[in-house]
Amino acid sequence: MYDVYAIRPDFPVLEQVVYLDNASTSQTPRPVVEAMNEYFFEYAGNYGRGAHRLAQATTEHYENARESVASFFEADPRNVIFTKNTTESINIVAHGREWAPGDRVITSAIEHHSNYLPWVGLSSYGVVLDLVDANHEGIIDPNAVEEKITDSTKLIALSHVSNVFGSVLDIDQVIKIGRKHGVSVLVDAAQSAGEIPLSMKKLAPDYLALPGHKGLLGPQGTGVLIIHDPEELRPTILGGGAVEWVRGCDYELLDPPARFEAGTPNIPGVIGVGRAVEYVKTLGVTNVEKHVTMLARLAAKQLAEIENVTVYGPENRIGVVSFNVADLHPHDVSMMLDETNKICTRSGYHCAMPALLSLGLDGTVRASFGPYNTIEEVNLLTGAVGLIATSLV
């Protein structure tokens, strides 16, 4: 049975603060840090380069991490590419596909900038961006996505969970729509990987982009791109470790995934992600989903009952609660929560400016929950917000 209090000692910083900024980055548990330290202290070498024992041990641990991540998402290890974050993963798709003038990409007006600006940037190739509207709670109707599809549509790129609203997209239906029309689908799983079960076998998106440092509880500077068919993408970076041979100006790329991982990778980070997914497995993703959903919905309910507080997003949310206190800037509220109760929240546009501007907002305060957060911490948050809000009356 899932016991939040049993895992909290794995996150020492929780003794000092109430950490509610998990949508930005999670805390990293002791076993993951220990796995990275083991690399530095016991077998540090370069990946895939060298016949000596340290290089061989490094390569073995790195590829074991790939196997762990592949198993976690029920994917073929050859289709798992390690990146430095979700942003890089999405950009690999944006710049690795072949585009022609007039090609169209569908995304939404509530995306994180990382799943918005790469597609905007394709305008230099003549690619047209079609935006699907979300309602005021951040919910996107899959039927609205289908209505945007034309003969020129090549890709649908949408977030599974909104980092502003906590709303959950019906990605299963969107992927079916894409398949029906012969359109590729990219799922931005930045806010769902590790907190909602995801299977490449069951969902079968063309691309799954995700971070190592959020729901997977891995270190920062790590990300993953899982590609259904790696042969349809060209590498966006060329260099050492990605080629079979080079003669003059001719070269031949290695098979995937190596061709997409040129240069020395973030070896300790990847090893950390491999250990992190094993840690999350022991928690059970379904258990984590239930836990963070319960906390977010409880927080939203309690905050909505406070005079002068406005909560944004749907009732059926997961993990994220954005809110504002009347007449106070979100940054001021977030600082007050930190200074008075050591509560760490996010404030601002959350790298999703179009979403908040569409609501006429100059940012929000965002509380986001992880597997180690508790009901007591929710109560502490809402109690502190209540004191701030009632001081305005």
Is 302 domain-assigned? yes
According to the model, what pLDDT value does residue 223 have?
98
Average pLDDT over residues 343-351: 96
Q: What is the pLDDT of residues 199-251, one digit of tens each?
A: 999 999 999 999 999 999 999 999 999 999 999 999 999 999 999 999 999 99
According to the model, what pLDDT value does residue 172 have?
98
Is 170 domain-assigned? yes
According to the model, what pLDDT value does residue 359 have?
85
Is 8 domain-assigned? no
Whether residue 361 is predicted with pLDDT greater than 60 in this model: the reply is yes
According to the model, what pLDDT value does residue 391 have?
82
Domain that holds residue 133: 30-282
Catalytic residue among 351, 367, 384, 389: 351
Is 55 domain-assigned? yes
Residues 49 and 176 both lie in one domain = yes
Task: For residue 249, indicate whether it is catalytic.
Answer: no
Alpha carbon distance 190, 322 (integer Å): 17
Whether residue 331 is predicted with pLDDT greater than 60 in this model: the reply is yes
Whether residue 1 is predicted with pLDDT greater than 80 in this model: the reply is no
Global pTM? Answer: 0.97
Residues 211 and 356 both lie in one domain = no
- Across all residues in the chain, what is the average pLDDT? 97
Is 15 domain-assigned? no
According to the model, what pLDDT value does residue 2 have?
81
Confidence of residue 392 (pLDDT cuts 50, 70, 90): low
The domain that holds 369 is classified in CATH as 3.90.1150.10
The domain that holds 266 is classified in CATH as 3.40.640.10
Q: How far is CA 71 from CA 66, 86, 291, in A?
A: 8, 19, 23
Neighbours of 362 (CB within 10 A): 12
Average pLDDT over residues 69-77: 98
Residues 237 and 323 both lie in one domain = no
Neighbours of 210 (CB within 10 A): 28
Within 13 A of 38's CA, how many CA atoms are on the CB side?
14
Residues 324 and 248 both lie in one domain = no
Closest residue by Cα to residue 360 from 70, 151, 136, 74: 136
Is 16 domain-assigned? no
